[in-house]
């Protein structure tokens, strides 16, 4: 058993608290990882609020990490102690029908199909002050050591800088992949990105890499605009500066609406605004932001009837392992 520090969420709505925790050794098919770097994604905030589907408290959140393999359980063959790795919040078992399908990155062992509050054998490797602590997405990167099923660990290049590549675990892959894999942005096209956090800025990079000629970045926080421009945004707009609804502003700016729109905020109103911002015929809107669990939105189907497509994207459609 390793004793180390971790940021524990004891109850919904309470801030994280740094605690000394015990991390049990990996069982068969599991890997214990020393986490060196972790990002913070908005989804961790959703966990803290208690609004992530099926989350159970107390829990160690975090799903954007990178580190080294410390030890391996029986039967583990794809990694060995000392390997640099990225934990995968979206696992890849390599055996389910979606893993076998080159078009899909939705492993059936992901959290939507199989709760990941406990490891696959339905026990936890974390404890603190005599209490069992839940895992999050099997990865729990807000701990100095964490135990993860082998199929949710990807080996990476030994030279990779861990403080940068941790973002491949969620934010960067999600945003960049939403543009490249999910929308399949074409050269010369127009794009609008709602929300300029780590995810939205990565969408901007993806649109730029795909050769979009106009990239319109939308956020209510204007401090985000300088970074968005540096990464490829051609226009930046705050809906708060507009007299008309943002979808009307974008439609006027582009003639009939953008070719591709992306929602990377996680709000019902901006999901509908993003959908209405892409053109009525060939426009494609990609949902990346997440609403609180149990929330629903209502949409006028006429928005889709003329040909628009509305897609969702998890981890940017990326298969996280080769
Ligand atoms: P973030 O909090 O860093 O960024 C959100 C941005 O939206 C901020 O810049 C904020 O100013 C802006 N914003 C807030 N309200 C707005 C409004 N009304 N109009 C315009 N802009 C507004 O978040 P993030 O980490 O980049 O994540 C974004 C969303 O993506 C979250 O909902 C997160 O849960 C979700 N997410 C989904 C996936 C996936 O695989 N689909 C992966 C990661 C994150
Ligand atoms: Zn995330
Ligand atoms: Zn699978």
Three-class DSSP labels, 79-91: CCCCCEEEECCCC
Residue from 38, 105, 199 to probe ligand 1 pocket by mutation (most atoms less than 8 Å from CB): 199
What interhelical angle do 246-254 and 268-277 show, nearest 10?
20
CA–centroid distance, 286 to ligand 2, in Å, is 16
Q: Name the stretches of the chain with pLDDT < 70.
A: none
- What confidence tens digit (pLDDT) does each residue in 180-226 have? 999 999 999 999 999 999 999 999 999 999 999 999 999 999 999 99
Quote the pLDDT of residue 322.
81
Q: Is the pTM of this model over 0.85?
A: yes
CA–centroid distance, 81 to ligand 3, in Å, is 24
Quote the pLDDT of residue 48.
97
CA–centroid distance, 321 to ligand 3, in Å, is 11
Instruction: Provide the strand spans (E) within 174-283.
Output: 190-194, 214-218, 235-237, 260-263
**Cβ < 6 Å from ligand 1: which residues?**
41-43, 46, 170-171, 174, 194-200, 218-221, 224, 239, 264-267, 270, 288-290, 313-315
Q: Which CATH number fits domain 2-169: 3.90.78.10, 3.40.30.10, 3.40.50.740, 3.90.180.10?
A: 3.90.180.10
Where does the chain hold its CATH 3.90.180.10 domain(s)? 2-169
- What confidence tens digit (pLDDT) does each residue in 242-274 have? 999 999 999 999 999 999 999 999 999 999 999
Q: What percent of the chain shows pLDDT beyond 70?
A: 100
Give the whole-angstrom CA distance, residue 274 versus residue 257: 10
Where does the chain hold its CATH 3.40.50.720 domain(s)? 172-317
Q: Is the Cβ–Cβ distance between 139 and 65 less than 8 Å?
A: yes
Q: How far is CA 260 from CA 72, 156, 215, in A?
A: 44, 32, 10
CA–centroid distance, 253 to ligand 2, in Å, is 32
Tell the residue nearest (CA) to atom 1 of ligand 1.
197
Q: Which helix (H) or strand (E) holds 149?
A: strand 145-149
Quote the pLDDT of residue 203.
98
Q: Which helix (H) or strand (E) holds 7?
A: strand 2-8
Ligand closest to CA 108: 3
Give the whole-angstrom CA distance, residue 74 versus residue 63: 24
CATH T-level fold of 172-317: Rossmann fold (3.40.50)
């Amino acid at each position: 058993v390793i004793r180390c520090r971790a940021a524990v969420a004891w109850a919904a709505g309470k801030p994280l608290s740094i605690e000394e925790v015990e991390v049990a050794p990996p069982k068969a098919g599991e890997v214990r990882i020393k986490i060196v770097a972790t990002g913070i994604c908005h989804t961790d905030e959703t966990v803290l609020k208690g609004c992530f589907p099926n989350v159970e408290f107390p829990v160690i959140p975090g799903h954007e990490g990178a580190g080294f393999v410390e030890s391996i359980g029986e039967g583990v063959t794809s990694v060995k102690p000392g390997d640099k790795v990225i934990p995968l919040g979206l696992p890849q078992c390599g055996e389910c029908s979606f893993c076998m399908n080159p078009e899909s990155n939705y492993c059936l062992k992901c959290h939507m199909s199989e709760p990941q509050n406990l490891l696959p054998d339905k026990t936890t490797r974390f404890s603190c002050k005599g209490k069992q602590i839940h895992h999050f997405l099997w990865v729990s990167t807000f701990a100095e050591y964490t135990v993860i099923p082998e199929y949710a660990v990807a080996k990476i290049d030994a030279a990779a800088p861990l403080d940068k590549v941790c973002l491949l675990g969620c934010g960067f892959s999600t945003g960049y992949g939403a543009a490249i894999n999910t929308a399949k942005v074409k050269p010369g096209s127009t794009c609008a990105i709602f929300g300029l956090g780590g995810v939205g800025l990565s969408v901007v990079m993806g649109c730029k890499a795909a050769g979009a000629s106009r990239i319109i970045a939308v956020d209510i926080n204007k401090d985000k605009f300088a970074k968005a421009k540096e990464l490829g945004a051609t226009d930046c707009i705050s809906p708060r500066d507009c007299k008309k609804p943002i979808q009307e502003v974008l439609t006027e700016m582009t003639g009939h609406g953008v070719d591709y729109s992306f929602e990377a905020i996680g709000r019902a109103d901006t999901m509908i605004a993003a959908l209405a911002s892409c053109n009525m015929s060939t426009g494609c809107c990609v949902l990346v932001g997440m609403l609180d669990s149990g929330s629903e939105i209502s949409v006028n189907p006429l928005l889709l009837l003329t040909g628009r497509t509305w897609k969702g994207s998890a981890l940017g459609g990326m298969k996280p392992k080769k």
